[in-house]
Amino acid sequence: MATHWTLTGDAIDPQRLAAFWKLAIGYVDEDGYDYQYGASLVDPDGIGPAVSFLRVPEPKSAKNRLHIDIRVATSAAIEPPERDELIRAKVLELLSAGAQVVHETLWNGHVEGVVMTDPEGNEFCVA
């Protein structure tokens, strides 16, 4: 049997960061989680790990050693033009929620992935 685990990140504003990541990965607030210095999200299907954020006093100061990859175009059956559209649509959605683009990687003229930062500067990829 697999062990249940949670990916936890530091945050200046845990509720703001949780709101961003709810949109980014389709998670929901964890029922019964009532900690004023944190926020916790869970997979609504109960399959993926929980994601939580705990308040810390200092801002992010270095590159992440661990990051989330948002995989919107995972099927090998998705052709590059459709894959490009799926990735770019997710990038636009996340930009409107406070993310920023760091850089875009192209392969043979198509989007391989986009490195972004969340509202507190944590890097993640959209692919």
**Is 63 inside a domain boundary?**
no
Structure tokens at 16: 């703001």
Distance CA 29, CA 67 (A): 20
Average pLDDT, the chain: 94
CATH of the domain at 48: 3.30.720.120
The answer to whether residue 60 is domain-embedded is no
User: Contact 67/120 with Cβ under 8 angstroms?
Assistant: no
Torsion of CA 73, 74, 79, 81, to 10 degrees: 20
State whether 48 and 90 are in the same domain.
no
Q: What are phi and psi of 18, to 5 degrees?
A: -65, -40
The count of domains in the chain is: 2
Neighbours of 8 (CB within 10 A): 13
How far apart, in whole angstroms, are the C-alpha atoms of residue 57 and residue 55? 7
**If 0-12 CB within 10 Å is exposed, 13-18 middle and 19+ buried, where does residue 118 land?**
buried
| Least-confidence region, from 59-63, 68-72, 93-97 | 59-63
Q: Please give the pLDDT value at position 32.
A: 95
Query: Residues 84-93: pLDDT tens digits?
Result: 999 999 999 9
Residue 1: what pLDDT? 75
Structural domain boundaries enclosing 93: 68-126
The pLDDT of residue 76 is above 80: no
**What pLDDT band is residue 35 in, cutting at 50, 70 and 90?**
very high
Query: Which pTM value belongs to this model?
Result: 0.91
Residue 56: pLDDT over 80: yes
pLDDT of residue 77: 83
Q: What is the pLDDT of residues 99-114, one digit of tens each?
A: 999 999 999 999 999 9
